[in-house]
Chain A
Amino acid sequence: MTFKTFGKTFGAACALSLGLAGLALAEYPERPINMVIPYGAGGATDISARTIAEPLGAAVGKPLVMANVTGAGGATGSVAVQNAKEDGYTMLFARVGSHSVNPAMKATLPYTLEDFRFVTVYEINPVACAVSSSSGITSMEELIAKVDQGGVTYSSSGVGSLLHLAAVMVLSEFGVEEPLTQTTHIPQKGGGAAATAVLNGTATFLCTNSSSIASFVANKQLVPLMVTTAEPVPGFDVPTAADLGKPALHQLVGWTGIAGPDGLPDEVADKWGTWMASATEDADFLEKMTARGSVIELMSPEDANAFIQGQYDTFRKLVDDLGMRIEG
């Protein structure tokens, strides 16, 4: 039975890529669209992108060619789209790291938010903070108390990643005045390594997408302390930022969206709006994404821009207040 499905999927993929090429349509899109994923295969962005590609491809009617262009925390792939033709045939899966944390933290970044036109944000990832189960810490108060004693460290997937900024922002919201000197940042290569660092005691805690530590929490290897959303997250039996009286942390969430180069024509942006509307309705897609802990929330281009700008401003203010900006 499964092999029939395999055959069908494979057959459909071939038909999609070969057969449709004959139908030349005058209007956009008349050929396959390149979708750049600025992070590596198997990561949160990659899985999200490849999950939506299925219903989205059906809505577009042309194949979507997924291309992972990794490097420099999403910058290499983002630049590839920034410099691409503004014809709508090269689009980017933008992510919180590449398009709000990085611009806020890195002065040397070769692009700014103005270089892109966002057509949508479709996925929100709650952020959760967790410690190792062997640390004995069970609540945020205990963690903060430990900070005052000194020696607290946090891991991240690299400088300028969401994990880096999230830990600093959480500490600062909980009244730690000098998070940069009172605690130590131990950057790792990638999100998986960041979680492992907390597991093996290299770092005290981390704040990351709830989905990437869900299995460690279920296996009781990591103890969650809080989630940054207003609503509780399934599988995380901990207080929300609202419960803890820190509404400012609601800004601290991961997201995935789709963007094109700045000069993207209006009709292309409109097309994407309708395609995304039908793609996010897909039951299979919704089920897969929510099972992974994502919240599917489709934003119009205006809402998406306002949301990203708002998050960028919050992050930028924090970065400037603490002197975290990377100039060199």
Chain B
Amino acid sequence: MRLGVGAVLAALFLAVYAIPAWVSSPSNVGNIILSPLFWPYALAGFTGLTGFGLIYSGLRLDQSGAPLEEPSDEAGAAWVRLALMAVIMVLTMLLLPGLGMVLTSMLIFAATAFLVRTRHPMTALVCAVLVPLVLYAFFAHVAGVAIPQGEVLRLP
């Protein structure tokens, strides 16, 4: 039901704003079905239809349905942890070019391990150092991939 409303709104947003603004089409397109716009508009239309279908089936059946999630012991803390994970991901993207992939991965590993409250903190720390190093050795020297090196640490 909520999903259906969301889909209809998304379809409207696509058709009214997103497609005209972000899809460019040359002026000399001979036939509408060849235009770069044709397919996105068709998809927006189908999305709207699916949305109405979801609303309809939601109304008709009018059921409470199964709960969306299994009850969690602490709903508030769960959201805080998810937000922290999002912060970790944003930081990863910011740090990768400067710190290099190996150091960044070590930080991510440690941060994530403690975020999920690991029962083996020492093992986690050891792995946090070793796993990125082993992966680096493999990808850089066996697979020949140019793994980004940081300004701080330059591995052979």
Contact = CB atoms under 8 A, between A and B. Distances in A.
Given A65-B146, A67-B146, A328 B25 contact: yes
Interface string A67-90: 100000000000000000000000
Contacts of B145: 65, 67
B72 interface: no
B117 interface: no
Contact of B144 (A66, A327, A328): A66
Contact of A14 (B141, B146, B154): B141
A18 B154 CA distance: 13
A21 interface: yes
A326 B25 CA distance: 10
Interface in B21-36: 24-26, 28
B26 A328 contact: yes
Interface string A42-73: 00000000000000000000000111000000
A20 B9 CA distance: 59
Nearest to A14: B141
Interface residues of A, number: 14
A17 interface: yes
A326 B156 contact: no
A327 B146 contact: no
A19 to B, nearest CB: 9
Nearest to B148: A34
Nearest to A32: B146
A contact face: mostly helix, strand, loop, or mixed: mixed
Given A31-B154, A326-B26, A327-B26, A18 B146 contact: no
A34 B140 CA distance: 12
B141 A17 contact: yes
Interface residues of B, number: 11
A51 B156 CA distance: 25
Interface in A1-50: 14, 17-18, 21-22, 31, 34
Contacts of B146: 34, 65, 67
A31 B155 CA distance: 11
Contacts of B24: 328
A179 to B, nearest CB: 15
Interface in B114-156: 140-141, 144-146, 154, 156
A199 to B, nearest CB: 24
B13 to A, nearest CB: 21
Contacts of B26: 326-328
Nearest to A323: B28
Nearest to A22: B156
A105 to B, nearest CB: 12
A158 to B, nearest CB: 14
A66 B144 CA distance: 7
A65 B141 contact: no
B76 to A, nearest CB: 42
Contact of A18 (B25, B28, B144, B156): B156
A34 B144 CA distance: 11
A126 to B, nearest CB: 31
Contacts of B140: 17
Nearest to A326: B26
A66 B141 CA distance: 12
22 contacts: A14-B141, A17-B140, A17-B141, A17-B144, A18-B141, A18-B156, A21-B156, A22-B156, A31-B154, A34-B146, A65-B144, A65-B145, A65-B146, A66-B144, A67-B145, A67-B146, A323-B28, A326-B26, A327-B26, A328-B24, A328-B25, A328-B26
Given A17-B141, A17-B144, A65-B145, 13 more contacts: A14-B141, A17-B140, A18-B141, A18-B156, A21-B156, A22-B156, A65-B144, A65-B146, A67-B145, A326-B26, A328-B24, A328-B25, A328-B26
Listed from nearest, the 6 A-B pairs whose CB atoms lie closest are A328-B24, A21-B156, A65-B146, A67-B146, A34-B146, A17-B141
